[in-house]
Every structure is written in C-alpha cells, then in structure tokens.
Amino acid sequence: MTASTPASAPIPVIEEDVRVEREVVQTGAVRVRIRTDRQTTVVDEPLRHHGVEIERVPVHRVVEERREPWQDGPVTVVPVYQEILVRQTLLVEELRLTPTVAVTHQAGTVELRSETAVIERQAPDGSWVEIADPDPATSPVPGPAA
C-alpha cells in the first residue's frame, strides 16, 4: 500500500429515493342523455265482444214447485213465475240466455315510443358534441383526445 491510499478507505454509498404521487386531472367530460322518439302507427286488431242473446219462451203451465235457474247446454234458463188466485204457481215464461261472441276488426292509430341513449363529449370550448356510435352494443365510450 502506498502512503497516499489508506488501507481501509471508506467508499461513499449514495441512496436515491423515489416518491410517486398521483393526481386526478379532469381532461373532459362525457354525459349520457335519453332521447325519446315517437312514431304513430296504425294497428288493426280483432276485438272480441261477449254478449247475451235473450229469448222469451212463453210457457203458461201450472207447476207444483219452483225451480232455480239451470243450464241447458250453453243456454242458461231462468224461469219466471206468477202466483194465481187459486194458489197455484203458473210458469209464465222461460228466459233463455244464450252467450254470443262477435269478433270485429277496429283499426286505430297508436303512438309508440322508443328510447335512444345519446352519448356526448364536452368540447374544450364547453359545448357538448354528440359521439357517433355505429353499434351501441359493442362500442366503448372513447377516451380523452391525446
């Protein structure tokens, strides 16, 4: 060893420390609004009208006892009675109620509504610009311009 170089000279060690910080910077904005479109269309649907046809059947027959209304196939029979002076019950008539169904077509106009999501990006001047979206199911919202 030479006199100018000590045998155990310290070797300086330098340590660097890195500090990383994140800061959220807003570079723009995106908004979604729903636009409702209306379309008038003509519909022609069959309408079913249920009703009852009433037939009065004169009977004028003396009966022993009263009977409640009954079904004769699809027809409901409602007996109408009258008591006569000799205390007999006279069946005056039977009302025969037959259900009916009539189908008619009635055309009319209806207003149909559909909603569309409109995606807009805020321009540097603060105005809002609609983003073209060719396929809404697969197109992501584009990121900020570089």
What digits encode the pLDDT tens for the residues 120-142? 888 888 888 888 765 555 555 55
Question: Residue 81's Cα: distance from chain center in Å?
Answer: 53
- Model confidence over 15-71: pLDDT tens digits? 888 888 888 877 778 889 999 999 999 988 888 999 999 999 999 889 888 999 999
Q: Are strands 128-130 and 88-122 parallel, antiparallel or unpaired?
A: antiparallel
Do 91 and 64 form a contact (C-beta atoms < 8 A)?
no
Share of the chain above pLDDT 70, in %: 86
Q: SS3 of 31, please?
A: strand
- Model confidence over 66-109: pLDDT tens digits? 999 999 999 999 999 988 877 788 898 999 999 998 888 888 88
